[in-house]
Amino acid sequence: MQMIQENSKLYSKTPPNIHEFPQKLLARLGKISTKYSMSIEQLTMPVKYICLRLNTQHHLFNTLTHEVNSMALRPIEWSNLYGVNHCFYLLAAKKYLITENPLFKLGSYYIQSLSSLFTACQLHPKPGEEVLDLTAAPGGKTLILANIMKQEGRLAAVEAQKSRFFKLQHQLKNHQADWVATYWADGRTIGRKCHERFDRILLDAPCSSEARIDKNIPTSWEHWSIKKVKSCARLQFALLKSAFNALKVGGTMVYSTCTLAPEENEMVINRFLHAFPGQILPETINTLTIPNLKTKCGFTMWEEKQLLPGCQQSIRLLPNDYFSNFFICRLKKIG
């Protein structure tokens, strides 16, 4: 099948002045950008490259491989280290070449950020284990976990919002991963229902999405507020406690968000470590094998509040042409 030809029509938009931002948001971004040692413009820059992953279970896989080869896309070689194959760098501006391909709607390809791919890989699921994706929709990270597990073991995906739950189910079925068990449920109840059942848990938590703010797109920040940040932090802590209770002793969980807010990142981890002293061990995340990935250790202080040393084991992905802002913390349950 021939690839849809590139559309040459140009689109232009006039970026608003950054001072149109809410002043509280502007002040926060200024503090965070100082900790990142970069400007607010750099902090909110859009990525140039995203991840295109071929569905290896698709019955037209050979056709997909031929199409990708004809585009001369660079393979994402580091993903192979985690057992995720057939991933390629795709220019974000050329995304429509894939999404307008009829095969895309049939589950032939999946497009996601490189940060999302990297985050899912940090759980290191093994075939035969029992694994949980606690807030799973729309399903991109669930598909990565399913790919790594190769239908060996049990993978469960939980989503609380009804509309997103059905999108998750459709995504899994469309990508031949309907062997994944799906549950429409409040993630805060799973720890009580499935006490110490899972070997590994991914909690990519709902957040205020500060890291997705684009100063050129007012709709990306028009719903932001300090109230929303605090509300998300309360939900995230409750979900993290639920994940802890659902995790076996000796098991591993990954907590991540796509927000810049320390209240939803390091301060949630700090509160969690205080709540379960001596029972959780933050683990180092190895980033040395990942080209173009720049990171900073988690903050140890925010708004004059000193945080526990374990928070520094978390990492923040710094924005560049390849990776978007992301916060990741890997935690081992030791008691």
- The CA distances from residue 143 to 43, 80, 314, in Å, are 29, 15, 24
Distance CA 291, CA 277 (A): 36
Task: Pick the catalytic residue from 258, 297, 311, 329.
Answer: 258
Distance CA 191, CA 189 (A): 6
Token pair belonging to 139: 């399903």
Write phi, then psi, for 268 (nearest 5 degrees): -70, -45
Distance CA 243, CA 192 (A): 10
Distance CA 317, CA 315 (A): 6
CB 274 within 8 A of CB 306: no
| DSSP state letters, 243-273 | HHHHEEEEEEEEEEES---GGGTHHHHHHHH
CB 313 within 8 A of CB 280: no
Distance CA 144, CA 49 (A): 18
Of 68, 139, 74, which Cα lies nearest the Cα of 97? 68
H/E element, 50: strand 49-54
258 is catalytic: yes
Alpha helices in the chain (DSSP H): 23-36, 40-43, 61-71, 95-99, 114-121, 140-149, 162-174, 190-193, 226-246, 266-275
- What is the DSSP code (8-state) at residue 75? B
**CA end-to-end span of the chain:** 55
Distance CA 18, CA 30 (A): 12
Token pair belonging to 267: 């301060």
Residues annotated as part of the active site: 258
